């Protein structure tokens, strides 16, 4: 997307994968890092930034549940998506050998994506707020007995050494990011829509909800449940499907959901990611 010097927020430090997603998705954007996702959402809601890039799911670790929980409570809209290839490296100070390392810092998602490598390495892990932030920590604190898991670009940015690379459990490792804004997007003819709905804790309720899409041959891309946090064992369902909410067939399916008693929140319609998973 080509924008002229508008502010785009992301969670983490410069050099993080979220920061990389900003650079891939936007041209001529002013990147603004945030320590946590809550502050990022709040800044977008208050229109201190024009857009935000947030991770929603990883091909190894699955969904980033904090993002989905924030989307449920927020007024912002999903206006785009992008997939970023994730190649994790073990990064340390120059001159530090692999056997010198006792501690490995990184974001919980990155630690989970490298679980097999870390199990074989046998070092204590410390969860932090960000991959690039982990490199920043061991750099600034001059920790010679520690390493961080982050990207090759982060090692270059902080002038650190790569000890091992491509250490994720699966080489085919991607993270999907949403672009958020306060704007509604127009139909492009090649769109997805994301919604949240609850179908009630009664027999056949989910089947009836999904039937609204099946009968109209609307392709579902993803469905996932999250606790409502209001009553035990009741769930909200996060659903992605092909099409734009303004398309007649999609709008009819939504109206059908309402008629069977589902409560619905439309997160947004947006162009499908154009990048290839390779």
Active-site amino acid positions: 175, 177
Q: What is the DSSP string of 243-267?
A: S-TTSHHHHHHHHHHHHTT-EEEEE
CA 8 from centroid of its chain's CA atoms = 15
b/e 60-86 (16+ beta carbons within 10 angstroms → b): bbebbeebbbbbeebebbbbbbbbbbb
* Spatial separation of the C-alpha atoms in residues 57 and 63, rounded to whole Å: 4
Place of tokens 């109209």: 216
- How many residues appear in the chain? 278
| Residue 173: both structure tokens together | 């490792």
Are the C-beta atoms of residues 25 and 77 closer than 8 Å to each other?
Answer: no
Cβ within 8 Å of residue 107, ≥6 positions away: 12, 127, 128, 129, 130, 131, 133, 134
Distance CA 253, CA 217 (A): 10
Tally of CB atoms within 10 A around 125: 18
Half-sphere exposure of 272 (CA within 13 A, CB side): 13
**Closest CA relative to residue 61, chosen from 108, 103, 17:** 108
């Amino acid at each position: 997307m080509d924008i002229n010097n508008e502010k785009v927020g992301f969670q983490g430090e410069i050099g993080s994968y979220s920061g990389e997603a900003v650079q891939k998705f936007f041209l001529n954007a002013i990147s603004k890092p945030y320590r946590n996702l809550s502050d990022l959402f709040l800044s977008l809601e208050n229109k201190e930034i024009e857009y935000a890039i947030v991770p929603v799911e990883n091909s190894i670790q699955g969904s980033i549940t904090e993002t989905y929980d924030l989307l449920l409570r927020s007024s912002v809209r999903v206006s785009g998506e992008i997939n970023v290839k994730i190649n994790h490296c073990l990064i340390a100070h120059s001159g530090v050998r692999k056997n010198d390392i006792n501690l490995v810092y990184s974001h919980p998602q990155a630690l989970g994506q490298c679980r097999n490598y870390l199990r074989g390495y046998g070092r204590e892990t410390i969860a932090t707020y960000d991959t690039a932030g982990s490199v920043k920590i061991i750099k600034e604190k001059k920790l010679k007995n520690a390493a961080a898991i982050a990207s090759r670009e982060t090692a270059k940015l902080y002038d650190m050494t790569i000890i091992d690379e491509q250490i994720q459990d699966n080489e085919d490792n991607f993270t999907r990011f949403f672009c958020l804004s306060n704007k509604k997007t127009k139909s492009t003819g090649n769109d997805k829509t994301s919604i949240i709905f609850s179908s009630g804790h009664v027999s056949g309720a989910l089947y009836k909800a999904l039937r609204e899409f099946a009968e109209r041959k609307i392709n579902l891309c993803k469905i996932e449940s999250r606790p409502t946090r209001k009553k035990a064992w009741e769930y909200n369902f996060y659903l992605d499907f092909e099409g734009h909410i303004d398309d007649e067939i999609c709008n009819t399916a939504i109206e059908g959901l309402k008629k069977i008693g589902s409560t619905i929140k439309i997160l947004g319609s947006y162009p499908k990611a154009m990048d290839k998973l390779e």
